[in-house]
Structure formats: structure tokens, C-alpha cells
């Protein structure tokens, strides 16, 4: 599940040029490693008992949370921001609390037009909903912005909301440069040793919070947020991992579901290795499409055919495994970072030209372009500095949410199987070994992977992209089958998630659903 990451690739907002920014490009997760940290005792923090509130009214011990008034104040980007107080541990709501950062873009229409709030999530796990709010408010149709407050929040453990720390900046840099597709037992041991230290880092650096992040707690935070916003039902626009949050909300609070659009769906029946295998297939498919496109262009360094492009990428990665390449960034490009630079542009065709240029540079012995893409993916802002805690949050949430994957022998077997027929074998291997940090995690959610089951009668819109690398199309098909009230809307195209990706057909269908609940006709395919 290493690459279950960014869900908001660069998009083309209405009336403006395509742009790349920290808000629009939520960090992709990459195969990383961390330095040695002392082992924290496994019993240092008690396992929480997850509390399942009734759906008709909040229990008495949560009444003060549901009844709180948010104190809104102006913040950046023309937004209003507030702090939402929630229990650290829902099994002990009278105990310690944490604060969730919330941002709101006020509806532009009259009070008579207003339908309530539209809560958004950009995915990750680990993406900042606060950072995402201005972007979504700018992009949605004017009618949606007129009738809904656009509300984003940083889930617990993420960005401003009690941010979890598992890795220092220096440890993150080391981890990003670690060989994530090991070819020797010595490299495997190094990867597994450093991977085990990620969990230790969470427990040693954030011991109080480490066992209280995760989807089950965030879903309960979402319901408190809904109530404090004054909404009887939750209207939700979730991307990638945000579709899992929405699905779980519909399961736990079925009577409180309003309009719910799930774009780039996760299949909740899958475990960690099944997720990674699906993503491995998805990225291989996307790379073949990139290669076919590249081969037609004069800027492509590999000419003749898609196979020539894929062969060139494989030769480049093999060479970097033996010897790093100089760059203008003060550090060389190694294979691990080059793999990131290859997979990250598969999230959006807007980055395909950048990858072509970077590959052409690399063919001339200059790895600067490839390293720049890798640094973009990891949200690196300087030497050993990063713009967010997304690397820590990703592992803290992902590894908690799912049962532990197999150890090194199982990862090695998966890497061999997935890479056997892969067009870019090193990427397939990295997908398998990317699960290494979760193999020794200190605790897991009591929810085990299973198909979604909800009694909600609310119609839910599931959106899938046929060549989505990170949330493959068949996952959206599976989730739509599991949600009996859902309709599947298909985007026949490339990239991760569809809304705002340049298809007027997709945007109109989602905007219409959000405004009045009207579903697209079953079987609708947009281009």
C-alpha cells in the first residue's frame, strides 16, 4: 500500500492555466526508510476500545463534543478557520482531547439558496483538507459554491490536527533514498531494519497519539464536525482514501448520509498486499500508456515504439542501481528516487511532459529533472526539510487501518511474482516491498477488510477512471456493487481521480448530483 497516496494531482481550474502547488499536488508516498531509534515498549500505551455511537443521537458522554460551537476566524486564502475539539480516545471521552483544524469557504449565494456544508477530503491518508479547501472552492461550479459552504479539515494526526511524528527530517531523507526494490539479501535486511524503525519512531515521538489515529476515529470526528456545522446529514466529496472515509461513514452512520460523491474508490474488502498488487498492475498499465504517448513526440528521448521507451526506462533504472547520477541539487539521483520520479507523473497527464524532459536529461547524464520530480512527490522544501508530516501520517494511519502484511519472505515472493511479467520490474518490486514498515506495526484497527455493508437509503455516486494507476478502475466497480444505492460514473481516461481533471462531462455530472441529488444515467461513460 506504499503508493496509496496523492489523490489530487495537478488540475486545470476553470479559466486559468494548469498549475502545480502544495495544495493541488498532495504528496505521493514513496518507498522510504528511517534511521535507528530506541525500541518503545509495546505496552507503553493501552490499546483503545473503539466506540460505535448510535445513529439516532449522540451518547451522553459525547454530548459536549456534539454541542460545541466553533469559533470561526479569518485565515489564509479567503477562508475562515476554527478548531474542533474531539476525544483522543472514544472509549474514554472524558479524558484527553485533541483539536481538529477546520477551514470553510462560505457559500456565495443568498441564505435562501444555501443547502448546508460540503465536506471534502483529498485523500492520502495524510493529505491536508485545509490546504485543499480553497482549491475546491475555486474549481466547483459557481452554483455549487453558491449553495454549499466548502469545508475541509485535517484528519487527526495530519498537518495542523495533532500532527503525528514518526520521522525527523533527516530520517525522512534517508528513508527516501533507501533502495526500495532490493536485489540482495543485504539490501533486504537494510530495508526491513529501517522499516521497523518507522513504528518505533511513532511510539517514541508521538506516544500518546500513535494508537489513536486511523480511519475509525476520523469517521467519528467527521460526525461531530457535521453536527457542529449545523447539518443533519453529511454531504461528502472524497477522493481516493477519502472514498474509504466516506464508505466507512455510510456504514457507521447510515441515517446521516446526504450527498456523497466518491471519486477514485478504494475497495474496502482488500488487504494491504491486495491493494499493492492492484496498484502495481495499475501503474504498469499507466506506464505503457505514457510510453505509447512518449514514442510519438519529438521531445521523447526514446524513439520508435512504446517498448523502446519502456526499455529505456529500465536501462536507466538498472544503471542507477549501480551508480547514482549527478544533479544540480547538491545530491545525486539514486534508483529509489528515480523510481518515484517515474511513478509520480502517472497520477496526471499534466506531468507527462515533465517526465519526458527529465528522462531526456537523464540520458545525457544529468539527473536534475528526475530528482526535481521526486522532491515534488515527497514535498521536500530543502535539505532534510519537508512541507508537511505526510510521510509520518501516511504510515501511522495506513499501517494501523489494515492487518499486518507478511514479513520479508512474503514480500520477496510478492516482488518476484509481480515483477515477472511487468514492463518496469523495479517499480513492481517497489510496490511489494513498500509494505515493509507495516509488517511490524504495534497495533491495528479491529476492522478487518471486508466488502462495504450499509443500510443507508441515500444514493451514493461512485466515480472511476479506466486507467487510474493508484485506485484502479475495478476497485470503483467493486465498491459500486457493494453499495446497493450507488451509481457508477466512468471516466474513460488517464490519471488518478476524475473530477476537475478536464472532462466537462464528469464535472457536470458530479456538480448536478451535488446540487440536487440527480444521478447520471446508469452506465454513463465520460471522455
Residues annotated as part of the active site: 240, 468, 496
Orientation angle between helical segments 306-322 and 272-294, nearest 10 degrees: 120
- The residue with cell 476515529 is 217
- Nearest residue to 34 via CA among 216, 192, 152: 192
Strand order in the sheet with 486-494: 73-75, 79-87, 97-105, 148-153, 116-121, 234-239, 257-263, 460-467, 486-494, 525-526
**How far, in Å, CA of 522 to CA of 487, rounded?**
6
Rounded to 5, what percent of the chain is helix, strand, coil?
45, 15, 45
**How far, in Å, CA of 480 to CA of 454, rounded?**
12
Contacts of 508 (CB under 8 A, 6+ apart): none
The 3-state DSSP class for residue 98 equals: strand
Orientation angle between helical segments 185-205 and 408-419, nearest 10 degrees: 120
What does the DSSP 8-state code read for residue 385?
E
**How far, in Å, CA of 288 to CA of 21, rounded?**
27
DSSP 149-163: EEEEE--TTSTTSS-
- H helices within 324-424, ranges in order? 335-343, 352-363, 368-378, 390-401, 408-419
Residue 524's alpha-carbon distances to 244, 332, 474, 497, in angstroms, are: 23, 47, 16, 16
Strands (E), 224-293: 234-239, 257-263
CB 309 within 8 A of CB 439: no
Give, in degrees to the nearest 5, the angle at Cα 396 between 391 and 399.
110
- Nearest residue to 510 via CA among 502, 104, 518: 518
Burial (CB count <10 Å: 0-12, 13-18, 19+), residue 114 = middle
Residue 289's alpha-carbon distances to 31, 275, 324, 330, in angstroms, are: 23, 21, 27, 33
Amino acid at each position: 500500500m506504499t503508493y496509496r497516496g496523492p489523490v489530487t494531482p495537478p488540475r486545470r481550474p476553470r479559466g486559468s492555466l494548469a498549475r502545480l502547488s502544495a495544495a493541488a499536488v498532495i504528496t505521493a508516498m514513496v518507498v522510504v526508510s528511517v534511521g535507528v531509534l530506541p525500541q518503545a515498549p509495546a505496552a507503553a500505551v493501552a490499546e483503545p476500545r473503539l466506540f460505535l455511537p448510535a445513529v439516532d443521537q449522540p451518547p451522553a458522554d459525547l454530548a459536549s463534543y456534539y454541542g460545541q460551537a466553533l469559533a470561526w476566524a479569518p485565515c489564509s486564502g479567503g477562508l475562515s478557520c476554527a478548531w474542533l475539539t474531539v476525544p483522543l480516545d472514544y472509549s474514554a471521552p472524558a479524558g484527553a482531547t485533541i483539536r481538529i483544524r477546520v477551514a470553510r469557504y462560505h457559500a456565495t449565494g443568498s441564505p435562501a439558496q444555501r443547502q448546508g456544508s460540503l465536506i471534502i477530503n483529498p485523500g492520502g491518508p495524510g493529505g491536508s483538507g485545509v490546504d485543499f479547501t480553497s482549491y475546491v472552492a475555486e474549481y466547483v461550479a459557481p452554483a455549487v459554491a453558491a449553495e454549499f459552504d466548502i469545508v475541509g479539515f485535517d484528519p487527526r494526526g495530519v498537518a495542523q490536527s495533532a500532527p503525528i511524528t514518526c520521522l525527523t527530517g533527516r530520517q525522512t531523507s534517508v528513508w527516501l533514498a533507501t533502495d526500495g526494490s532490493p536485489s540482495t539479501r543485504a539490501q533486504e535486511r537494510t530495508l526491513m531494519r529501517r522499516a521497523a524503525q518507522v513504528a518505533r519512531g511513532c511510539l517514541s515521538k508521538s506516544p500518546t497519539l500513535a494508537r489513536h489515529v486511523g480511519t475509525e476515529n476520523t469517521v467519528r470526528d467527521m460526525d461531530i464536525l457535521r453536527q457542529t456545522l449545523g447539518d443533519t446529514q453529511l454531504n461528502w466529496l472524497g477522493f481516493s482514501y477519502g472514498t474509504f472515509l466516506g464508505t466507512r461513514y455510510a456504514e457507521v452512520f447510515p441515517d446521516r448520509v446526504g450527498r456523497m460523491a466518491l471519486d477514485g474508490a478504494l475497495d474496502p474488502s482488500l488487504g494491504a498486499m491486495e491493494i499493492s498488487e492492484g496498484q502495481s498492475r495499475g501503474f504498469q498499465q499507466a506506464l505503457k500508456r505514457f510510453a505509447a504517448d512518449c514514442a510519438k513526440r519529438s521531445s521523447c528521448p526514446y524513439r520508435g515504439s512504446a517498448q523502446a521507451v519502456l526499455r529505456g526506462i529500465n536501462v536507466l533504472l538498472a544503471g542507477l542501481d549501480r551508480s547514482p547520477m549527478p544533479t544540480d541539487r547538491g545530491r545525486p539521483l539514486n534508483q529509489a528516487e528515480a523510481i518515484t520520479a517515474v511513478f509520480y507523473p502517472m497520477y496526471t497527464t499534466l506531468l507527462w511532459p515533465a517526465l519526458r524532459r527529465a528522462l531526456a536529461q537523464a540520458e545525457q547524464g544529468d539527473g536534475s529533472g528526475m530528482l526535481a520530480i521526486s522532491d515534488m512527490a515527497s514535498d521536500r522544501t530543502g535539505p532534510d526539510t519537508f512541507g508537511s508530516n505526510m510521510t509520518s501520517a501516511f504510515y501511522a494511519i495506513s499501517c494501523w487501518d489494515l492487518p499486518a502484511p507478511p514479513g520479508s519472505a512474503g514480500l520477496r515472493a510478492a516482488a518476484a511474482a509481480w515483477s515477472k511479467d511487468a514492463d518496469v520490474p523495479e517499480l513492481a518490486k517497489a510496490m511489494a516491498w513498500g509494505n515493509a514498515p507495516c509488517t511490524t506495526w504495534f497495533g491495528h484497527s479491529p476492522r478487518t477488510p471486508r466488502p462495504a455493508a450499509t443500510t443507508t437509503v441515500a444514493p451514493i455516486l461512485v466515480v472511476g477512471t479506466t486507467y487510474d494507476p493508484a485506485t484502479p478502475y475495478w476497485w470503483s466497480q467493486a465498491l459500486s456493487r457493494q453499495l446497493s444505492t450507488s451509481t457508477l460514473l466512468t471516466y474513460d481516461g488517464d490519471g488518478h481521480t476524475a473530477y476537475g481533471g478536464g472532462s466537462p462531462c464528469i464535472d457536470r455530472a458530479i456538480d448536478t448530483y451535488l446540487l440536487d441529488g440527480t444521478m447520471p444515467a446508469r452506465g454513463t461513460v465520460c471522455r
